[in-house]
Structure 1
Amino acid sequence: MDAAVTESPIDRLSGLLGPEMAAVNTLIRERMASRHAPRIPEVTAHLVEAGGKRLRPLLTLAAAKLFDYQGPYHIHLAATVEFIHTATLLHDDVVDESEQRRGRPTANLLWDNKSSVLVGDYLLARAFQLMTDTGVMRVLEILSNASATISEGEVLQLSAAQDIATDESVYLQVIRGKTAALFSAATEVGAVIAGADEARVKALFDFGDALGIAFQIADDLLDYGGSSAAIGKNTGDDFRERKLTLPVIKALARADEQELAFWRRTIEKGDQRDGDLDEALRIMTRHGALESARDDALAWSAKARSALETLPDNEIRELLDELAEFVVMRIA
């Protein structure tokens, strides 16, 4: 079988943008250095070198190359996006008291919470330095707005967590913050730095937004049916951590009194017992909540693909289209 057929669109994008991605990695290593605080590169390297797909910086590079951009600044913006993403992961793991990330111990577990928070702050500062290197105020505006949206989404998630009155509109706002905001900013700044017209910049924003939402819904679904190796955490962690993700929210909307009592005990009060995860799955299955969430993810994937229709018809666009299909393939 042809290797190109078996490779994922992420791998193929990585191959196509290999030289640019190598330059991004070099810039990341340069900018995460610190003469005075060696713990900064130690903590950063633990996460940056953990073998992630670098999807977000790839999106920035792809968006710029979609318009045949020849300048140097898509490298800076891709590194910026990765620094913002890494900083949010460091902060998230402290907030969530996580012990595993991408199948490895988290930085807060190996070092401590203080180191994770402060190194995350350092990376955000480095991200803003990289943005200003471009000299383009528009990209600074886009990425600073995205950073604010990410933080806002995290705070909203704190207030909505364990509140079984949380509905789908709040969930959508949360995942726009925690995932889609950086996806859409990554694609949008790539188009801006390449000098694309406003309609195409908006199309790439819409693509990134829908892609990020589809990606996160699929990730939340996998928590109730994926393997630990595939999702980088233990199956059922969202339930054990009392997170109100879309499958639970959909089941709650259809719950009878007995089921509401179950969700109050397990999610609101945190009184979880042996067999509760299996019971949660039974309730979600009974109400078609998993299937409905799957349909939502597929619809957002289709919306992402539709946003690409007015963009230049080339290999990059084809791979972005395949990527939008790929992120939900795990649940299709």
Structure 2
Amino acid sequence: MTTPPPENSREANRLGPGGQALQPGLYLVSTPIGNLRDITLRALDVLAAADLVLAEDTRVTRRLLDAHGLTAKLQAYHDHNGERVRPGILQDLTEGGVIALVSDAGTPMVSDPGYKLAAEAIAQGLTVVPVPGASAVLAALCLSGLPTDSFTFAGFPPQKQAAREKFLSGFSQCPGSLVFYEGASRIADCLASLRRVFGDRPAAVCRELTKLHEEARRGSLSELADHYAAAGPPRGEVVILVGAGEDEAWDAARVDAALMEALSRMRVKEAAAHIAQLSGQPRRDLYARALVLKDAGS
């Protein structure tokens, strides 16, 4: 006969469904991306039983816990304090702690600061357990109307245009749909960059997923870029999706248009190099053409 743990022991608080004890380890717990009901029963069990819950913003996680009648010891874990607090967390795990890691919304480690903690725990041979659930990537993909059988998640593009377009060009040959996160204030600029890099592919912008004002706006990259340039930044969190499609050919008209746009913010040499990277055409030819366009416009 197994003797139950004493009521004042740490183990006494680790009982999951059916009285099954949680094993020591780091639990990566997915949380809702909007609707607080989008949380799994298993996630609630882990959050109730954990010795410690690590959160990007403890205020956000406290609201989630309160909504489900849970109390838990919370500690902030984010980009600004990760280097400082990570050793202590790993020590707790080494000593047999049950620690849950959550992001403000969605699945931990997807564009959030949990990666280094999980990677170091794995490197030390500690147990890491995923507790899957809500994901903005998958929700947006299902809502977009674009193919879902093959996709690439690329995270947040760089904020500055030149760096952003260099980053985007690395995905130009990816099969399937592309998924990006972007800040609402930069959405029009990002869509314009996507149009320049990929041509006028089918696309979608999904925002406020699972919330009251959930929206999916679908169209070509040109249509979407024009809409948000005129309408201004939308409210809420944004996911941009781009269909595979077939790239538009870099014919003379497209090359000239791209060079003219680049020349408006770059020197001739830089503009030629930038468009060479996007189009795959020889830099020397593009430099010569850029000189002609610059002279014609001066």
The TM tier, using the shorter chain, reads: under 0.3
Indicate the structure with greater strand content.
2
- TM-score, normalised relative to structure 1: 0.24
- TM-score, normalised relative to structure 2: 0.26
